[in-house]
Amino acid sequence: MLVFTDGSCLKNNNGGWAFCIVDEKEDILVSCGETNTTNNRMELTAVIEALKYLKENFDVSTCVVKTDSQLTMNCGQKKWKRNKNIDLWEIFDKLNSSIHIQWEWVKAHNGNHYNELVDKSAKKEAESLTDME
């Protein structure tokens, strides 16, 4: 399974996350927003929500996660120390114990269709929360 993820956060701390599962039958795009958050939380939440979706809807033991977040990728591989968002990393570790992730970094805003898609979806979610204020 191939998954693209992204997170976004506006200056007023409204954020959004999105993932897209690239499947042979159809692409699956899921996104949501949160208030009082950070960009790093949204980046990690996108991965967590993608893993939850895979676990609930597909019989997979491995997936490829493509992200433009070096922090999420390197902390996910335990190459970098996890200093913040420990609550989310605990959830990630539980999900990652049943689904092995092969990480791939994607340069942001570089014309990759799926990276642009999840980026726009995450930003739209953050903006929709701002519009409601």
Catalytic residues: 6-7, 43, 68, 109, 119
| Torsion from C-alpha of 10, 38, 4, 20, nearest 10 degrees | -70
Q: Among 98, 117, 99, which residue's Cα sits nearest to residue 108? A: 117
Enumerate the β-bridge partners of residue 26. Answer: none
Burial 73-103 (b: 16+ CB within 10 A, else e): bebbeeeeebeebeebbebbeebeeebebee
Q: What kind and span of H or E run contains 76? A: helix 70-76
At which residue do the structure tokens 């995450």 appear? 122
Structure-block tokens of residue 29 = 């795009």
